[in-house]
Structure 1
Amino acid sequence: MELQPSPLCILIVTLSTAAVFLLLCHLTASCRRRNPWCSCEVCETYLTVGWSKHHANLCDWYSDLLRRSPTKTVHIHILGNTITANPVNVEYMLKTRFENFPKGKPFSTILGDFLGHGIFNVDGDLWRFQRKMASLEFDGFSIRSFAFDTVRFEIEDRLIPLLLSVSETETRILDLQDVFKRFSFDCICKFSFGLDPMCLQLSLPLSEFALSFDLASNISAERAMKASPSVWKIKRLLNLGSEKKLREAIAMIDVLAQEVIDQKRRIGYSSIHKDLLSRFMRTVNDDKFLRDIIVSFLLAGRDTVASALSSFFWLVAKHPQVASEICEEVSRVIGNQQVTSFEQLRELHYLNAAVYETMRLYPPIQFDSKFCQKDDILPDGTFVKSGTRVTYHPYAMGRMEELWGPDCLEFRPGRWLEEGKFRPENPFKYPIFQAGLRVCLGKEMALMEVKTVALSLLRRFRVELATPAAEKPTGLRFSPGLTATISGGLPVKIRDISTGARASHK
């Protein structure tokens, strides 16, 4: 007997075929606009991944292209992406013509499944509302004190005891990047949501939320690297490969974000609760919107801080004289006391310079994209067609001789000091925290967290690189993602150099 396909099977095949046909039509239209089959040397190098023969990271290849460009601006035809490392262009995009360079619908679509309508993925009134709500908290003295106390507790009661236990074993190797991710995840959850996930206990597996979060971040970033959005859209429609993994990761994020919201409702979110989520929940009753706020603040507070700390300790391990100068400054300025306030941290000019120098070379967010709404001309004369993705590139900007001098590839905190005092640079030359109207609201909080951890660990431990696995002659190798994550982690050995430890070995 001959089997006949069921009506449901026929319907599924028909709908799938129609969907693929429509997406192919969209791809054809994209071809006309973006010339994705461009055979120029740059586009061919991108498509064949030829850049990897000479560069550790895609960002290093972009840096090389931008260095050789007279205007410090290039256009990648197959991506429809204009990339710039020119500070004048950055100011034009982020300040002068801010309204003409929003995040844009294409970018919101790329990150929409992951970030939803959170502050980093929206424009207009929705962005203004979230920014206003968050700024009321970040600007308050009580929230700054709450954040400082949160970080101090996490360092003294969890981070230092953990590192001490590792330092007692001479042969034990620790992934310091993983530790910093756990640390910053605990801090941002307590600070933003009033909840403690207790991730900084290596006897426990990292939470499913955190693992799913990393996966969703990586796959979302890979979407933006495709020559055509139709590639990932077809995979998403058919629930295949990386898009299937992304859907599963987001489902886990959604479940656990909802648990955060429900738990917060059980605990309460009155005016006495200082965390950010409480403020939003007193105004917003849409759980989907609250979920997007949770994910956005996790991205900002967990991944960027962990990235900055990982790069800082990698650089300091390779430049031990920097660690010595930081410790000498601390002894000179505050003695053997613990740092107890934001104000004391501001007095540590060399420490501040070392942190800024770290992020010049290894920014936690290596590039940021906007989409041009109307035809425009950048100050360097580059014509930008409506709908073009325009990317400013802090990673490349930190490697420009014209901006930082012939020693731009060197780690030299002294470049930030003038007569011993920290001297900030033009934010459009150093757009690590963005600049203009979308400048990072959590800048001071993030700097406080990085500097407090750096200070606490350098005074107590010596960090030695265990293996050079993540290194290339030109620096670190990074995994794809929305924030910079060292590929393979940061394996180190921890040595306790406190007075007691030295005495016990005599």
Structure 2
Amino acid sequence: MVPYMLCFQFVACCLLVLLYSLRSGSASSAGHGPRSYPVIGCLLAFYENRRRLLDWYTEMLAASPTQTIVVDRLGARRTVVTANPANVEYILLGNFGNFPKGKPFTDVLGDLLGNGIFNVDGDKWFAQRKLVSHEFSARTLRELEIAVLEAEALDRLVPAMEAAAEPGGGAVDMQDVLRRFAFDVICRVSLGVDPGCLDPALPAPRLATAFDAAAGIIARRGAAPLAAVWKIKRALNIGSERRLREEVKVIYEAVMDLIRSRKKERFLVNAGAERNDLLSRMIDCGYADEDIRDMVISFIMAGRDTTSSALTWFFWLLMRHRDVERDVLEEITSMRRDSSNGTYAGEGFDLDDFRRMRYGMGRMEAIWGSDAGEFSLERWLALPTDSNSASGGVSPFKYPVFQGGPRTCLGREMAFVQMKFVAGAILRRFDLRPVDEGRTPAFLPLLTSHMHGGLKVTVRRRKVETTGNGLQDAATAENRSSFFS
């Protein structure tokens, strides 16, 4: 009888606390944060908006005079969310040492990223940052990336698009194509192996599907209303957490097998001397296998989803704004044309010009003006050029897509090169049309902002003007010289 009475009393107390919370609820941050209650905080509002968290946060930040809100939620630490450039600069630069990623962040990502650079603070972060900064500045790595990028784009991406442009080729999901392309590129640059994701004759590599599944589960951890739920599932090894453990095991074993194989290879006489991929270079530095594994996994996660997501939204924007697409295409065509013979000299256009095409951070009218929610290419073209900023003359603290201060993304230049190369290769040859003209896709907030439902397009060959020869198919005007060298 006593256990039943204790259970009844516990439930009754919980109900009383909940009723009190509902009656005395108040909005935080002077009316501009989520509506919060004692004990449960903003859990109800968080759950209600769990499928539109990005829009929900944006609305609250836009309503706040300081573009800053405080979020209290049961099972989570008090969180300050800000879109104020002055605050961002203070966090990323002015008082950088006082703002580590922290345990709540590293707990969510730790089972996948381990002690990789994106999931550590302090001395571990500094040591990896120093190593990666040195490697990314090496000319040999840059040359490897360009060679891989050119081969992957011209030998696989363009032929795949050509096949889609054939009669009966059907619609293709550009988001999927670009993710496959990016996975091939980053694996060849980081690991020195070719997974062949864009090869239609091969099934999707198990490593790629494991990354997909693991990243999705990790992202859902971060968006969960109650962190205790996924932590309990992890402790019991059930549901999505059991699946995560299985997928991470696949990733870890694949990378560790590759590390052991590469080490053995590099001990052979005269072997490995020509390899410039990141894995080989880290092995040569003498790092422990587990540290190399974690760093490599972080590189793959960063290089795979970021550029492919940005390019997916880029192509969608151009399909929505055909006048801008015409301007971009004209620039690509004019910069690639050799005035003396009408041939093409390279695959892309000037790096600084492409930076001005970047998507803006957030939609704050207080930051960007009353037209913040509109697509306006002019807002970028009117800016002075500054190679140290995130995009042209925009402060990295106003536009922190590549972070800022000591945490500035080391792969920024590589990302720009890859995006402009792919944009030039596709736009010059193909005319993309959305399958659903009236659809406005939603952001899918995974570890990067994917497009919910993908980007289904039909592909047509584009005709380009050539000197003295009227019109010809873009694919026949091929010249593989690399203008990046």
TM over 0.5: yes
**Distance between the aligned counterparts of 2:433 and 2:370, measured in 1?**
29
After superposition, residues 218-257 of structure 1 pair within 5 angstroms as: 218-257=216-255
Match of 2:409 in 1: 440
Q: 1:228 to 1:246 in 2, by over 3 A?
A: same
Q: 1:502 to 1:255 in 2, by over 3 A?
A: closer
Match of 2:309 in 1: 307
**Distance between the aligned counterparts of 1:125 and 1:240, measured in 2?**
35
Q: Secondary structure at the match of 1:485?
A: strand
Contact 1:56-1:477 at 8 Å conserved across structures: no
Match of 1:449 in 2: 418
Match of 1:353 in 2: 356
Contact 2:174-2:456 at 8 Å conserved across structures: yes
Contact 1:209-1:252 at 8 Å conserved across structures: yes
Q: 1:149 to 1:38 in 2, by over 3 A?
A: farther
Question: Residue 187 of structure 1: CA displacement?
Answer: 0.5
Question: Residue 245 of structure 1: CA displacement?
Answer: 1.3
**Distance between the aligned counterparts of 2:132 and 2:384, measured in 1?**
34
Among 374, 378, 382, the residue aligned to 1:410? 374
More deviation, 61-70/285-294:
285-294
Question: Residue 166 of structure 1: CA displacement?
Answer: 0.8
Contact 1:43-1:77 at 8 Å conserved across structures: no
Match of 2:468 in 1: none
Question: What CA deviation, in whole Å up to 9, does each residue of 1:132-170 have, x standing for no partner?
Answer: 111112112232222112111111111000100110034
**Distance between the aligned counterparts of 2:377 and 2:215, measured in 1?**
31
Q: 1:314 to 1:496 in 2, by over 3 A?
A: same
Among 339, 360, 365, the residue aligned to 2:346? 339
Among 442, 445, 462, the residue aligned to 2:431? 462
Question: Residue 178 of structure 1: CA displacement?
Answer: 0.7
Question: Residue 271 of structure 1: CA displacement?
Answer: 5.3
Q: Residue type matched to 2:44 in 1? A: L
Q: 1:107 to 1:83 in 2, by over 3 A?
A: same
Query: In the alignment, is residue 487 of structure 1 matched against residue 452 of structure 2?
Result: yes
Higher relative contact order (CA 8 A, sep 6+): 1
**Distance between the aligned counterparts of 1:49 and 1:229, measured in 2?**
12
Contact 2:347-2:424 at 8 Å conserved across structures: no
Q: 1:334 to 1:67 in 2, by over 3 A?
A: same
Contact 2:265-2:272 at 8 Å conserved across structures: no
Count of matched residue pairs: 423
Question: Residue 56 of structure 1: CA displacement?
Answer: 7.2
**Distance between the aligned counterparts of 2:232 and 2:383, measured in 1?**
58
Question: What CA deviation, in whole Å up to 9, does each residue of 1:173-231 have, x standing for no partner?
Answer: 11111111110001001111111111112332222211111221121122222344322
Query: In the alignment, is residue 64 of structure 1 matched against residue 59 of structure 2?
Result: yes
Q: Secondary structure at the match of 1:459?
A: helix
**Distance between the aligned counterparts of 2:193 and 2:98, measured in 1?**
39
**Distance between the aligned counterparts of 2:24 and 2:265, measured in 1?**
57
**Distance between the aligned counterparts of 1:109 and 1:420, measured in 2?**
41
Question: What CA deviation, in whole Å up to 9, does each residue of 1:50-75 have, x standing for no partner?
Answer: 755xx973101110000000110011
After superposition, residues 281-300 of structure 1 pair within 5 angstroms as: 281-300=283-302
Among 92, 95, 106, the residue aligned to 2:93? 95
Query: In the alignment, is residue 427 of structure 1 matched against residue 382 of structure 2?
Result: no
TM-score by length of 1: 0.77
Q: Secondary structure at the match of 1:82?
A: strand
Q: Residue type matched to 2:129 in 1? A: R
Question: Residue 340 of structure 1: CA displacement?
Answer: 6.3
Match of 2:198 in 1: 200
Contact 2:54-2:445 at 8 Å conserved across structures: no
| Unaligned runs of at least 5 residues, structure 2 | 1-13, 28-33, 37-41, 338-342, 386-390, 464-470, 477-485
Q: Residue type matched to 2:53 in 1? A: L
Question: What CA deviation, in whole Å up to 9, does each residue of 1:412-433 have, x standing for no partner?
Answer: 2221123896842011000000
TM-score by length of 2: 0.81
More deviation, 118-127/284-293:
284-293
Match of 2:443 in 1: 478
Match of 1:211 in 2: 209
**Distance between the aligned counterparts of 1:480 and 1:317, measured in 2?**
22
Question: What CA deviation, in whole Å up to 9, does each residue of 1:238-271 have, x standing for no partner?
Answer: 1121111111111111121123223323443855
Question: Residue 468 of structure 1: CA displacement?
Answer: 5.9
**Distance between the aligned counterparts of 1:112 and 1:503, measured in 2?**
45
**Distance between the aligned counterparts of 1:265 and 1:68, measured in 2?**
56
Match of 2:113 in 1: 115
Among 143, 146, 154, the residue aligned to 2:144? 146
Question: Residue 352 of structure 1: CA displacement?
Answer: 2.8
**Distance between the aligned counterparts of 2:24 and 2:294, measured in 1?**
37
Among 32, 47, 50, the residue aligned to 2:44? 47
Q: Secondary structure at the match of 1:154?
A: helix
Q: Secondary structure at the match of 2:158?
A: helix
Q: Secondary structure at the match of 2:81?
A: strand
Question: What CA deviation, in whole Å up to 9, does each residue of 1:292-347 have, x standing for no partner?
Answer: 11210011100101111111111111111122111211233331524268xx5236
Q: 1:186 to 1:502 in 2, by over 3 A?
A: closer
Contact 1:284-1:290 at 8 Å conserved across structures: no
Question: What CA deviation, in whole Å up to 9, does each residue of 1:379-417 have, x standing for no partner?
Answer: xxxxxxxxxxxxxxx4xxx20112111111122222112
